[in-house]
Chain A
Amino acid sequence: MWDHEIRAMASTHAIIAASVFMATVLPAVLLPGFSVYGTHLLWLYSVSAAVTAVSVAVFWLLGITPPAKKHTLGYKLSRLLRSCLYFFLSCLFFHTVVVLYGAPLIESALETFSLAVLLTSLTTLRCLCVLGPNVQAWIRVFSRHGAMSVWDTCLQITVACTLVGAWVGAFPIPLDWDRPWQVWPVSCSLGSLFGYLTGLVAAPAWIHYHRKQLTYKCK
């Protein structure tokens, strides 16, 4: 029934995953001294930027983004501005949540904020792409009957996987193994990225296997 959409989704996800891969490999080739642990923040921003750019481009090209109600330039501009604002607010939100979870408040604020940026570009950005700058819709999507299209279901899965990944990523921090990836926030950002990649794979697969049960109210 949604074979077409599932195929589109799978290829989109493949492109995004490839961009993550490239964002890791390319700087390693081009920049001397680049490594995931050593220059973690650099890697983190490169991945965030790649995911942001590719997601926005792909979703815009595919036309998933909800169409603007008015076609005036001013309206479009204000929409864009609102999206940017939401992006930034979401960074602040994630930063706060992470600090409440026990991240150091002052010492490594930059690291914490970078993690928040990564989380935002993996989760909020997708909400922005799929649902537009509309917080009510975001909250509505994360309920049992809230998904109204395949893309909504996919959004649920990837966001949940990313957040769970980041949460699980905090587990190894107290252990006394003295590994480079236990340094804050490496394990959490790696966890969220692995969660995100898992979500990218899991979402089309899950939808494919449950396509019989899935029913959506019309949009």
Chain B
Amino acid sequence: MKGLPVLSLLLWMCAVFFVGIYLFVGGFLLVRLEVNRTSTCGDVLEPGEEPVDFCRAQPRFRKVVLLIIDALKIDFARYDPDKTAPRPYENKLPVLEETVSSRPLQSRLYPFRADPPTTTMQRIKGFTTGSLPTFVDVGNNFASSAILEDNLIHQFGQAGKRVVFMGDDTWESLFPKKFYRSLPFPSFNVKDLHTVDNGILQHLYNTMVGDDWDVLVAHFLGVDHCGHRFGPDHPAMADKLTQMDGVIRSVIDRLQNDTLLVVMGDHGMTDTGDHGGESQKETDAAIFLYSPSPMFHGPPSQNEPDVVPQTDLVPTLALLLGVPIPYSNVGQVLLPLFPPHEQTEGAVGGLSQLEALWINTKQVNRFLETYSGMAKDIPPESLSRLKSEFALLSSEFLSTVREGRSPSPQLASSLQAYLTSVRDTCRATWARFNPLKMAAGLAILAFACLMCFILSELSLVLIRENGPLLKAPVVVSLTVGVSVAAAQLLIRGYIEVMWCLAAAAFSSELLFLWPPKRVSWLTLHHLLVPSLLFPLLRCASLLSDSYVIAEGRVVTFLVLSLALCIPIHLNWDGLLLPPSHDPLKSAGLLPAPALSPSAVRKESSTLLACLGILVGSLYLSLSFHGCREEQGSCQPSSFLSPLSRLQDNQLKNLHYVLAVISLGLWTYLLRCFLCHYGNLNSSGGTVFTARWILPLLSVCLGLHWAVSATPEDSFRNLAELIHLAQLALPRVAFCLLGLGLFLIWLDPLTVFVKTRTQASAKSLTLPTPRYRASIGISPQAELHHLIPQIYQRMRRSLDDGDLSGANEVDNRPAVEAYGLGTVYSAPLLLFSGLLGIGLLLLHPEGMALSFLLLLLETGALLHIHASSTTLSGLHGKYSGGFNVPWTPVVLWSLAATQFFHATGHLPTFPSIQWGAAFVGFPEGHTGTILPASLVTLNTFASHILFAVSCPLLLFWPLVCEVRGSRGRACGDDGEDAVMEMRLRENPQLFSSALLQLSTRYLLIHGAQVFASVCAAAILRRHLMVWKVFAPKLMFEASGFLVSSVFLLIGVTLVLRVDVAVGQWFKRLIPDVSR
């Protein structure tokens, strides 16, 4: 068979998908590294030679009240008395305008511009750290959402200020244990407009009057929830804003002289009340500053900023309250709040404008240096420009201070310009979706799906064509990629690899699709197969957050429905029941049955029994699901916690026994299959693995569970031994696994050959026995899988030219081979079985049950597929070839997703099982590659198993073939169970079927990736985008990556076996013909 074209086509297909995903994710998921350093009071930031501890200095304000009104848009805060018919959201906050006009030295109202993504969590991060948080802030806190970067709350705590918080419970998860006192209220239910606000109002005024606080943070959610529920243009919004107006008034009345009040929105909202994107309606919130004592130095003037960026709040608050500016801040101080240089003497405490700017500049420069040392995503040329600018400014400033002369007004504005350009550089890197990249990624993915579909439909033609199928696209894509790179180098001076890859992938896709005749071969009805409705439904479900949240159950529902369709469809075609014997009915309407009614009945009952097993394991698998935080009343499966955490000893023992039994069954079933088909007789590497390594591995795993579940205090004298076992057992298991997989790869043949040369003299006179009686090996194997004819046939085809007829006279088998019938499936099955045990090692013990269900379900699926193929074959519906229809492939890939959930995983970051990284490495790791790959293996265990074993779908109907059923289709004497040797007879059909199967499997997963990419692109303003859709996209994309890699491994293993079988035949011939 032609392995190379199959493999190269698949590789190319995967590569195109990868490029599409890479491109989209590059434009959509902005990534930033977290700098885990904190500023301290000892930082030398102030001008002058000797270090000054500026926390000691008298701050401008002692206290601050931070009222955050979620989604307080600037339009809500403005007041226009001339409006005769204001909209429900207009003119509802008159207090702001009244205060600003009556007390201009004490208050200001500015538009407050947030950076995208404008979601509440990212914004809270933004205006406490002063940086530009992206969706993925790569730090070491992937598992929890707590902020580890330096932030205002941390600095307040360090300075001994008591931070009291009330409101949206997001804060509690971002700053766990950082508050002096906190009153969080649940923020999840968007329909609930009042719980959070009323909760705050119950405590706000009492707290303010009391004296046990320095910083008071109150986060109101009512306005935002009102927007999500009704939109801004609704009477409910008017009520809510009026309520807020009252709140602000009461707070102003209770303020003391040394207290600053900040009223602000974290983001705006669109006309439909949503937010998350980067349109001006979403980014422009309002900020209102007020103090009972004058803090501005004149009425609003021309120098005032038009818009205050959100990050600017951080350094301003820090310096006004006398704490160090958080380390990663890129905002700049709000100058109007600081006295100009000349008036410093008169003001009470605090820094002058220039000093504040200088401290700010030094801090930003320090951050920039640290960051550019860690990450390379800021373009180098702008980095060097900023550096030289800072050097210039710093020398100018220091000389000014040293000489004691009053600084030139240009200095302040150039410091400001420096800060602005730093922020713009950072924003360009971190805070902007790249719609071009997103669109290009989408297009490439869409074309890749189309291409995958065409490949799967035309696999036979493509394999037969044998032309320069792949050469042209590859050559063209290479040329285009290189020329784009050259053009970039010429025009811009550097290469962006992403675009080169995009150009290459896109051109190869176009070239593949170019001769339109290829596309026109496909008629629409190819796509309208009923079983394709299910992947379509699945893809559609990815566009709704509710369905993504309920994904585990949704997929189970779909699998069950599709599985039930199989017998219904068979019955509709009249294939499920043996044709009735009523002479009136069957007269000539149906072709004469190829098999006796009893055989049909047997197949049907196998099918129904397997369906029962499938349904049972589907139902049981539901009890292994974990819970998302969005699923309120959900209880995670008790099997998900490791044994060592269980308190009840009896329960612990029960769990352990169950786990060991399932592990034993897993091993036993695998060996049973191999033994049944006579694959355990020879002495190759694979057989060695099956005989010794497989049981040893399970014993290892069982011991490991036992050891890790022992309570630490029960066997004190054995503590060292237990510790050693905890370390050694998993490592031994890893080694065994590696050895087993390697041996399978090295010597995948499981055929036992018995030459009958000595016996030939005797048997010359005897009639040729078709099946010899048992001689010592397994009688079952003898019965089923003695394949004498096959050798004859192979020899005939191989010897066609030179040895023609020489041995043909002797029409008697000269060689008997055991296990030849399952020569392809046995190593593949063993490979996936071993891999399954290895993956189980990375899971909590209770998951052994779920893995057993997985094995049962795959077995049931395979048998259902085989039986339905046989049943359709019986009635002359057999089409020739080994093509696997859509239904089993769809079931296979849906089952992969189903067991992703049934092994306790969820597409959310907090649910990643980090414990997997410490299996065998209880002390932790030094690098990141090993733990990352262990966690990946754990997370995508079911994707891996289903992808590797995907080619089994092709082999199983042959393994289970009923003698004689396919005979007529294949032509000559088909009386023996030839099984998988049929594949060798038809290498072309084999390769095309393998290609088709893999492309179909890829297509279904690829379509899911495409759907989740669409969901992320279309719904990037959705409330749930960062909670549901973006994580789903990441998991779907990585699942696709892992699946495709392991699918390729499975296909390669099949090709490896094919090569080995070819060599084996070649070796046999000279032996015998001698």
Residues of A within 8 A of B (CB): 99-102, 139-140, 142-146, 167, 170, 174-176, 178, 217-218
Contact = CB atoms under 8 A, between A and B. Distances in A.
Interface of B: 191, 544-547, 549-550, 553-554, 556-557, 560-561, 568, 571-574, 576-577, 580, 584-585, 589-590, 615, 618-619, 622
A100 B560 CA distance: 8
A100 to B, nearest CB: 5
A142 B550 CA distance: 33
Nearest to A145: B574
Contact of A144 (B547, B557, B572): B572
B577 A139 contact: yes
Contacts of B549: 174
11 contacts: A100-B619, A102-B557, A102-B622, A139-B577, A143-B574, A145-B574, A145-B590, A170-B557, A174-B553, A175-B547, A178-B191
A169 to B, nearest CB: 12
B572 A143 contact: yes
Contact of B574 (A146, A170, A178, A217): A146
B233 to A, nearest CB: 21
Contact of A142 (B544, B571, B618, B619): B571
B574 A174 contact: no
B615 A100 contact: yes
Contacts of B545: 176
A174 B568 contact: no
Contacts of A101: 557, 560
Contacts of A140: 577, 580
Contacts, number: 49
Contacts of A167: 561
Contact of A217 (B547, B584, B615): B584
Instruction: Give the interface SS of chain A, mostly helix, strand, loop or mixed.
Output: loop
A143 B573 contact: yes
Contacts of B557: 101-102, 170
A100 B556 CA distance: 10
B1015 to A, nearest CB: 15
A170 B554 CA distance: 10
B571 A139 contact: yes
Contacts of A139: 571, 576-577
Top 7 closest pairs, chain A to chain B, by CB: A174-B550, A143-B574, A175-B546, A174-B546, A176-B546, A100-B619, A143-B572
A5 B580 CA distance: 28
A150 to B, nearest CB: 18
Contacts of B589: 145, 217
Nearest to B573: A144
Given A144-B574, A174-B550, 8 more contacts: A100-B618, A101-B560, A102-B622, A140-B580, A142-B571, A170-B557, A174-B549, A217-B584
Given A139-B577, A145-B589, A217-B584, A102 B572 contact: no
Given A174-B554, A175-B546, A217 B585 contact: yes
Which of A143, A146, A170, A178 has the most chain B CB within a 10 Å cutoff? A143
B584 A142 contact: no
A95 to B, nearest CB: 14
Contacts of B546: 174-176
Contacts of A146: 574
Contacts of B577: 139-140
Given A170-B557, A174-B549, A142 B585 contact: no
A145 B576 CA distance: 13
A170 B561 CA distance: 12
Nearest to B582: A217
B297 to A, nearest CB: 52
A102 B571 contact: no
Contacts of B590: 145
Nearest to A170: B557
Nearest to A99: B619
Given A139-B571, A143-B571, A144-B574, A174 B547 contact: yes
A145 B585 CA distance: 10
Given A145-B589, A174-B546, A102 B574 contact: no
Nearest to B618: A100
Contacts of B622: 102
A194 B850 CA distance: 38
Given A101-B560, A145-B589, A175 B615 contact: no
Nearest to A102: B553
A120 B333 CA distance: 73
Contacts of A218: 584
Given A100-B615, A102-B622, A142 B547 contact: no
A72 to B, nearest CB: 26
A76 to B, nearest CB: 26
Q: Which of A139, A142, A170, A176 has the most chain B CB atoms closer than 10 A to its own CB?
A: A176
B836 to A, nearest CB: 26
B544 A175 contact: yes
Given A174-B549, A174-B550, A174-B553, A142 B560 contact: no
B708 to A, nearest CB: 33
A82 B940 CA distance: 51
A174 B544 CA distance: 10
Contacts of A102: 553, 556-557, 622
Contacts of A176: 545-546
Nearest to A141: B571
B555 to A, nearest CB: 11
Nearest to A167: B561
A178 B584 CA distance: 57
A101 B560 CA distance: 7
A102 B558 CA distance: 11
B568 A142 contact: yes
A123 to B, nearest CB: 13
A160 to B, nearest CB: 9
B189 to A, nearest CB: 10
Nearest to A218: B584
A146 B557 CA distance: 29
Contacts of A170: 557
A196 to B, nearest CB: 18
A207 B585 CA distance: 22
Contacts of B619: 99-100
A218 B584 CA distance: 9
Contacts of A144: 572-574
A170 B537 CA distance: 13
A167 B557 CA distance: 10
Contacts of B561: 167
Contacts of B553: 102, 174
Nearest to A219: B584
B569 to A, nearest CB: 10
Contacts of B572: 142-144
Nearest to B550: A174
A218 B583 CA distance: 13
B640 to A, nearest CB: 20
Nearest to B553: A102
A176 B547 CA distance: 9
Contacts of A145: 574, 589-590
Contacts of A99: 619
B934 to A, nearest CB: 33
B1070 to A, nearest CB: 55
B1030 to A, nearest CB: 19
Contacts of B615: 100
A118 to B, nearest CB: 20
A195 to B, nearest CB: 15
Nearest to B552: A102
Max count, chain B CB within 10 A of own CB: residue among A99, A145, A167: A145
A142 B619 CA distance: 27
Contacts of B580: 140
Contacts of A175: 544, 546-547
Which of B557, B576, B618 gathers the greatest number of chain A CB atoms within 10 Å?
Answer: B557
Nearest to B545: A176
B630 to A, nearest CB: 9
B95 to A, nearest CB: 35
A101 B546 CA distance: 18
A214 B484 CA distance: 63
